[in-house]
Amino acid sequence: MKRPIVLVVEDEPSVMAFVRAVLERNGYEVESAETGARALELLRMSEYAGVISDMRTPGGVDGADVWEWIAAHRPGLLPKIVFITGDILNEETSATLQRTGAPIVEKPFRIQQLMAAVQQILGKAQ
């Protein structure tokens, strides 16, 4: 059976490596983007089972922008988004999280926290 592919949008290499390792160990395939702009390119070209996105990414396209694009172009993917952030107290971040209703995993996080959020939106990988 094909492994579900999750798009991970994260600019910190250590966090990306951690998330990739956890997801792959739990039966998911990972495609990565270091910027929101790259995430939008990948979303235009491919289908994903879910998206895990940092709220703040370099290059002028952030997690909120990725969510907005998905809302406009792939609304079926909206319930399959998890945000990760170390900046939950920021007013803009907080407003986005409230507006989207997407699950959030706050940095620094543990494997169990990440997988609980992923399984909440995707179920268990086979």
Residue 26 in this model has a pLDDT that exceeds 90: yes
Helix (H) or strand (E) holding 85: strand 81-85
Least confident interval from 5-9, 52-56, 92-96, 107-111: 92-96
**Section 94-114 average pLDDT:** 88
Phi, then psi, of 74 in degrees rounded to 5: -140, 60
pTM over 0.85: yes
Would you state the pLDDT for residue 79? 95
| Percent of the chain topping pLDDT 90 | 70
Options 3.30.2130.30, 3.90.950.10, 3.40.50.2300, 3.40.50.300; which CATH number does 5-122 get?
3.40.50.2300
- Of the pLDDT bands very low, low, confident and very high (cuts 50, 70, 90), residue 75 is very high
CA torsion angle 76 82 70 27 (round to 10): -60
Residue 18 in this model has a pLDDT that exceeds 90: yes
